[in-house]
Structure 1
Amino acid sequence: MLRFATIAGFAGLALVTASAASAQDVAALKAEAAAIVGGYGGKLKDALMSALEKGGPTAALDVCNKAAPAIADDVSRGSAWKVARTSLKPRNAASAPDDYERKIMEAFNARIAAGEKASDLASAEIVEQNGRKVFRFVKAIPTASMCLTCHGAAIAPDVANKISALYPADTATGFKAGDMRGVFTLRKAIAAQ
């Protein structure tokens, strides 16, 4: 009986230790992911602002169409992370959310409806996908006033025409300032232990 209790005690200690290590891992991965989002978001904002200043909203659309995916690919190549953006109302059908991202964004929208700010929302956890452990980080992208030029309800005809030309299946309009326009989504495979 004592031997069984000792074994059970060691098993419990191992489980608590594994949980503590897992919580530390999640915290470290979350901090790393948040830093990557900050860098990616900053590069994207800089490119958009520069395009807006030089060529207006239609030039900014070129940034979203070509530069944004290239920036995400560059950030992904420079790390062990897959970095992207998605939305429940995607502009580009190729960036439609997976089931996990959809679930998180729907939960974020419920929290926003309950009074939370989109800018405060992030989710981080280790999940199992295709038999492998993967860390997922999702950070809401709030709609700023400047975003309404291309994502709002009233879009200038030249901008609307360019959106239609670049994104024939566009659904990323009708937003108001403060709405969650989409999310930054990051994933990283966790090495088997």
Structure 2
Amino acid sequence: MDAMRRALAGCVLALCLGTTGAEAADPAALAEARGATLRLQQELQGALKAAMAEGGPAGAVEACHLQALPLTESLSEELGAEIGRTALRLRNPANAPDAWEAAQLHRFEERLAAGEPAADLEAMAEGPGGLRYMKAIPMQEACAACHGPDVAPGLRAKIEALYPQDRATGFSPGTLRGAFTLTLHRP
């Protein structure tokens, strides 16, 4: 009984904190969540690299505007989950974080400030609605043309035309750009 109480207390603590490490999470669920977010990352990167090769940064912005949400919706439907991207400083308001996601993004910033590499930041929680998972998106050098501190004026105008409420610039490589987010609904 004491072992069960300790396990339950650990689960309650993890849910209250909203995060668990890989050692505290269901390994199969963690692997599923990591695989799904990796797939989204690879598909988005592939689309953006192709658009960048064809039309430069303006082509990448256009591709992101036209393809990112449909791609995440299609993948969500295929996986039977809710998958996407979010951030504290958004380009697209449709990607706004919910309360749990915002709390995790703030924790990611704290962990990054404490010296943890951005690529290692992830959070996981399981509750009545299912499994929640987030994986940080570190700012990469290749993303600086559209998200960095010095966006070219013509590109800035294109971004503002497509995303009038854009706040997703001024990032430096290695900082927290946002996160992939996943909810796996459990019966």
TM-score (norm 2): 0.87
In the alignment, which residue of structure 2 is the partner of 1:78? 78
Separation of aligned partners in 2, 1:38 and 1:90: 21
- 3-state SS, counterpart of residue 79 of structure 2: coil
Structure (1 or 2) with the larger CA radius of gyration:
1
- The equivalent of 1:45 in structure 2 is 45
Task: Return the offset for 1:116.
Answer: 1.0
> Which residue of the partner structure matches residue 167 of structure 1?
163
Cα distance in 2 for residues equivalent to 1:147 and 1:27: 32
**Do the aligned partners of 1:26 and 1:125 also contact (CA within 8 Å) in 2?**
no
Structure-2 separation of matches of 1:45 and 1:25: 28
Would you say the 8 A contact 1:91–1:172 is kept in 2? Answer: yes
Q: How does 1:142-157 map to 2 (within 5 A)?
A: 142-157=138-153
Q: 136-145 or 57-66: which moved more? A: 57-66
Rate the CA distance shift 1:13–1:175 in 2: closer, same or farther, 3 A: closer
- Per the TM alignment, residue 26 of structure 1 is displaced from its structure 2 partner at its CA by 2.6
1:51 is displaced (CA, Å) by 0.4
Distance 2:32 2:182 in 1: 10
- The corresponding residue for 2:66 is 66
Q: What one-letter code is carried by the residue in structure 2 that aligns with 1:87?
A: A
Q: Distance in 1 between matches of 2:26 and 2:9?
A: 10
Contact 2:47 2:63 in 1 (8 A): yes
3-state secondary structure, aligned to 2:26: helix
Residue 119 of structure 1 aligns with which residue?
Answer: 119
Q: Distance in 2 between matches of 1:185 and 1:159?
A: 28
- Whether the 8 Å CA contact 1:26–1:124 is kept in 2: the answer is no
Equivalent residue, structure 2, for 1:109: 109
Shift of 1:119: 0.6
- The C-alpha deviation readout for 1:82-107, integer Å capped at 9, x for no partner, is 00100000001121111100100100
1:2-41 correspondence to structure 2 within 5 Å:
9=1, 26-41=26-41
CA RMSD of superposed structures (Å): 2.3
Q: Which runs of 5+ in 2 are unaligned?
A: 11-22
d(CA) in 1 for partners of 2:168 and 2:185? Answer: 30
What CA distance in whole angstroms lies between the structure 1 residues aligned with 2:134 and 2:64?
Answer: 19
Structure 1 gap segments, 5+ residues each: 1-8
* Residues 161, 100 of structure 1: alpha-carbon distance in 2 compared, 3 angstrom cutoff: same
Could you tell me the TM-score, scaled by structure 1's length? 0.84
Give the distance between the partners of 1:126 and 1:166, measured in 2 at CA.
Answer: 36
CA contact (8 A) 1:92 1:170 kept: yes
